[in-house]
Amino acid sequence: MPSATPSSPRVVLGVTGGIAAYKSVDLLRQLRALDYHVAPVLTPDATRFVGAVTFSALASEAVRTSLYGDSTTPIPHTYLGQHCDLVIVAPATAHLIARYAIGLADDLLSATLLATRAPVLLCPAMHTEMWEQPAVQENLATLRRRGVMMLGPEVGPLAGGDAGAGRMVEPDVIVEMAQRILEGHRGPLSARHVVISAGGTREAIDPVRVIANRSSGRQGYALASVAARLGARVTLVSTVSLELPLDVARAITVVPVESADELLAAMVKLQTSADALIMAAAVADFRVRAASHKLKRRDGVPVLELEATPDVLAALVEGRGQGQVIVGFAAESEDVEANAREKLVRKGVDLLVANDVSAPGVGFEHETNEVTIFERSGAREVVSLRDKEGVAEVILTRVASLLAQGAS
């Protein structure tokens, strides 16, 4: 077995209490054969299925099982979290997934997961009935939105003679994914440039007053955050200034704009390098010819003559590059589906995300949203009421799928 060199990738291999833990011995062997420095962390339940001595003999350093350290490593979870390039949990049980999703840190493995900024790969393994539980799927969705990568499970023989979904993927598949992650893969949007607009445009009436709308920009910021966690290079063209989550703030370039003209100029400039453009911003349809000075009440009620603003989405579709995915949004208050389908066809976008802003908890200023996603193929998907990052995950999953297929 080769010894790890100082430049070797450092991998924390977490093993939880499931029958699939026996596969993790072979996984460890294959990782070491690549000259990776592997630090195994076993949960107390894992030691009921596999022996710590076996892992210590094959690994780069002795197995750790306790949250509490010793004189050489007094805080092991911090040490492991800060000194690794990748964390793999195989198998990842429903119990571990739930604790990770809600941020518990009551053993060494869960504490290490919270203490690391390295990419994390979970390889779920459990019985089919557990895998299909809504609680498990919601926990997984939460973790995916945070940028945690998943591999599997497969369909096949399970413990107790059963068969179905829930079988941990084979070690060679995990090793292949580990290699990709260590080479820079971070999810289905890795190496993609995603340009997202957010907020509502403001059109000047005079140097003080504007025509605006109720868009808060929260959905656009949620899209930017989730896209970054899925590996994308993100440019956020925004009319508002909201706080980005700390884990993605450095990965997102924010371009401030105010008017429809400024938004159009920024989006068209960025389009040349974009793989996907998501027009979540609410663009004012009309503007006035702005007065050069503040309009005074004493001069009477002014007559404001409206004119159309540029159609940003139409311009992007007209300038679409080969394989580029374009997503439009439609905020409606009546006849949502009919209006959305008409706009989908008229604008020529790949996806049209529509919502009924008159519904409770939906749209502007709310922390939650409920949308329907329409595709050019005629397919539609209703995304039930949830937080805006949850909505963003569904939209971006569709975007990633279209990019993989090569959108026309």
Residue 299 zone, left/alpha/beta (φ > 0; ψ -120 to 50; rest): alpha
**Which pair of structure tokens corresponds to residue 117?**
């900024």
| 3-class SS shares of the chain: helix, strand, coil, % to 5 | 35, 25, 40
213 catalytic per annotation: yes
| C-alpha to C-alpha distances, 47 to 18, 43, 163, 168, nearest whole angstrom | 10, 7, 25, 18
Number of neighbouring beta carbons within 10 Å of residue 377: 7
Query: What letter does residue 231 receive in the DSSP assignment?
Result: T
Q: Name the strands in the sheet holding 276-279, side by side, starting at the edge strand that comes first in the sequence.
A: 252-256, 233-238, 193-198, 276-279, 325-332, 351-356, 368-375, 380-387
Provide CB contacts within 8 A for 203, sequence distance 6+. Answer: 210, 211, 212, 259, 260, 284, 286, 287, 288, 290, 309
Rounded CA-CA distance 310/326 in Å is 17
Angle between helices 134-145 and 94-102 (to 10 degrees): 50
Rounded CA-CA distance 121/138 in Å is 17
Number of neighbouring beta carbons within 10 Å of residue 271: 17
Rounded CA-CA distance 266/208 in Å is 24
Q: How many helices (H) and strands (E) does the chain have?
A: 13, 19
**The dihedral sign for the CA sequence 138, 139, 140, 142:** positive
| C-alpha to C-alpha distances, 375 to 31, 64, 280, nearest whole angstrom | 42, 49, 16
Query: What letter does residue 8 receive in the DSSP assignment?
Result: S
Which of these is catalytic: 139, 213, 339, 355?
213
Report whether 321 contacts 271 (CB < 8 A): yes
> Which residue has 């060679």 as its token pair?
172
101, containing H or E segment? helix 94-102
Give the residue numbers marked as catalytic.
Answer: 213
